[in-house]
């Protein structure tokens, strides 16, 4: 759901580079401090090593929250801090604009929220919002719960260890296919579709060369296979006798378009279907993996969640948004997971005009990379150390619970994650199912390292766990 990944390295490769790296002489402000490194390659290697190790702190400590660098032929300003990021995120369409590689636009198509800008982006976002409204979410919950329960039972039946990140991707793809698109698939169909979709995603950020065996050609082939499947499914959806009996996200989308005076073409529907899965797939799998990892590291948090479920006499049947809203501690846990390990580490923009940030000029045409992870790790508002896992930092009366831009796992402004409520609901249902029905333990001597690009995930899918079903007396009474 819609935390969207920003593959910054690939963007640097694929976006046209400005013809100069110099300051805008029409502005009296200086450029940010920093180093531009070697010609063309700039500081690319240094940056790649840093993101692999989850750290750019030395540069930030040396130059401040706004500093310049040079990555793969592009001048870049790296930005940290709530006030700076507020200006970037609220400046969409005026100060800055999102921009994706040509390969991404070719594969996903032109009829997507991702590729649209300005008034067209606003119109499409308004139409898409219906699919993530409260009424829509309420209708999704029972089916999400059923999918989560079914998958977790499979994890517990597995005699060996589970590769959590791969398993989480299977879970989130199943949710996307069933709940967002309403697909009813046999298991072989599901696995074939998931494999094809992985092929599409793996080639979204390839060089824009449509030649045999190229990444772009592979991505286009996967897209065409998915479009063929989706067209058949959509035709069946359009021809059914009782459309009111169905309520997946694609249904809400089509109805919303009609209400806004727009009839989607088949091409628009196919591209929207692929975008819905793309938005839901990797980032929600990343967050689910982080949730499982951090709960494993903090068993006292698991116990507090169980106590909260018991205190509210929370039974898993007939879960509603209202019932979920009463689980305040669980809400804090999900927020803290997304603060410590935000699925997307940062966002990427291009300056539409020269503007000021923290006393420096950001020249027109330069790239701006704002860091979600660094902002979460350095925000002065936190009372307990930002490096600690402390769900209660988001409790009532704590300053961390207020304010907007020191906590931005879903971005903000015009391109904030439109599906954030659904994403959080999925994570809550997963947490409830986990603590109610299973226990899990490491299958390796230690915890894996976490890679942050393109999204946060265990290196080499190294989070291997054993899952065991709880005996009735081990869980809460539900």
Mean pLDDT by 10 residues, the chain (478 residues): 42 47 87 72 57 59 86 81 94 89 87 85 89 92 94 96 96 92 89 92 84 93 94 84 69 87 89 85 93 98 96 79 95 97 90 96 93 90 88 84 83 90 96 96 95 86 94 54
pLDDT digits (tens, 9 = 90+) for 185-195: 899 999 999 99
Question: In 176-214, which residue ranges form alpha helices assigned H by DSSP?
Answer: 187-202
pLDDT at 279: 77
Question: In 326-395, which residue ranges form alpha helices assigned H by DSSP?
Answer: 328-340, 372-378
Residue 342 DSSP class: -
Which among 276, 282, 223 is positioned nearest to 249, based on CA atoms?
276
Pairwise CA distance, residues 329 & 309, whole Å = 10
* Domain-wise residue ranges, the chain: 8-469
The token duo for 43 is: 């500081």
pLDDT at 73: 65
Query: Cα-flanking dihedrals φ and ψ of residue 457, to 5°?
Result: -165, 160
pLDDT at 241: 61
Longest distance between any two alpha carbons in the chain, whole Å: 72
pLDDT at 40: 52
Pairwise CA distance, residues 411 & 174, whole Å = 25
Which among 381, 421, 396 is positioned nearest to 81, based on CA atoms?
381
pLDDT at 75: 86
pLDDT at 244: 55
37: helix, strand or coil: coil
Residue 240 DSSP class: -
N- to C-terminal Cα separation, the chain: 28
Residue 92 DSSP class: B
pLDDT at 381: 85
Pairwise CA distance, residues 478 & 468, whole Å = 17
Instruction: State CA 236 to chain mean position distance.
Output: 30
Which run of H or E residues covers position 68? strand 66-71
Which among 18, 5, 14, 456 is positioned nearest to 216, based on CA atoms?
14
Pairwise CA distance, residues 199 & 193, whole Å = 10
417 known member of a binding site = yes
Which run of H or E residues covers position 216? helix 215-239
CATH class of 8-469: mainly alpha
């Amino acid at each position: 759901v819609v935390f969207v990944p920003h593959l910054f390295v690939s963007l640097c490769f694929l976006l046209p580079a400005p013809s100069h790296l110099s300051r805008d002489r029409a502005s009296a402000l200086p450029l940010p401090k920093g180093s531009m490194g070697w010609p063309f390659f700039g500081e690319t290697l240094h940056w790649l090593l840093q993101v692999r190790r989850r750290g750019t702190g030395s540069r930030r400590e040396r130059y401040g929250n706004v500093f310049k660098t040079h990555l793969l032929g592009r001048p870049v300003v790296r930005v940290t801090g709530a006030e700076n990021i507020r200006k970037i995120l609220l400046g969409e369409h005026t100060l800055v604009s999102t921009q994706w590689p040509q390969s991404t636009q070719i594969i996903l198509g032109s009829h997507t929220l991702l590729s649209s800008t300005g008034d067209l982006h606003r119109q499409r976002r308004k139409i898409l919002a219906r699919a993530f409204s409260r009424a829509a979410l309420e209708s999704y919950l029972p089916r999400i719960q059923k999918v989560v329960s079914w998958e977790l039972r499979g994890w517990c039946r597995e005699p060996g260890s589970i590769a959590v990140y791969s398993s989480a991707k299977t879970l989130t793809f199943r949710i996307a296919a069933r709940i967002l698109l309403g697909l009813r698939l046999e298991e072989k169909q599901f696995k074939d579709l998931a494999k094809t979709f992985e092929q599409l995603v793996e080639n979204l950020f390839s060089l824009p060369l449509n030649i045999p065996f190229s990444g772009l050609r592979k991505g286009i082939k996967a897209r065409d296979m998915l479009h063929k499947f989706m067209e058949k499914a959509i035709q069946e959806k359009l021809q059914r006798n009782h459309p009111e009996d169905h309520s997946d996200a694609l249904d809400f989308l089509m109805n919303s378009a009609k209400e806004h005076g727009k009839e989607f073409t088949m091409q628009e529907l196919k591209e929207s279907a692929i975008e819905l899965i793309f938005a839901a797939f990797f980032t929600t799998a990343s967050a689910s993996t982080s949730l499982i990892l951090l709960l494993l590291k903090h068993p006292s948090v698991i116990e507090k969640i169980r106590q909260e479920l018991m205190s509210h006499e929370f039974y898993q049947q007939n879960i509603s948004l209202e019932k979920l809203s009463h689980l305040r501690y669980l809400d804090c846990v999900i927020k803290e997971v997304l603060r410590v390990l935000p699925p997307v580490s940062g966002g990427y923009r291009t300056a539409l005009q020269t503007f000021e940030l923290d006393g420096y000029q950001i020249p027109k045409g330069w790239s701006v990379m704002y860091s979600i992870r660094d902002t979460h790790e350095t925000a002065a508002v936190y009372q307990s150390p930002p490096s600690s896992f402390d769900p209660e930092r988001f409790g009532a009366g704590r300053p961390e619970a207020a304010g907007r831009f020191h906590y931005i796992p879903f971005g903000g402004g015009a391109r904030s994650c439109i599906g954030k409520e659904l994403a959080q609901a999925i994570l809550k249902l997963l947490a409830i199912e986990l603590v109610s029905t299973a226990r899990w333990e490491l299958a390796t001597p230690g915890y894996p390292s976490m890679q942050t690009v393109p999204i946060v995930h265990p290196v080499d899918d190294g989070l291997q766990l054993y899952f065991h079903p709880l005996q009735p007396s081990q869980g809460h009474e539900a």
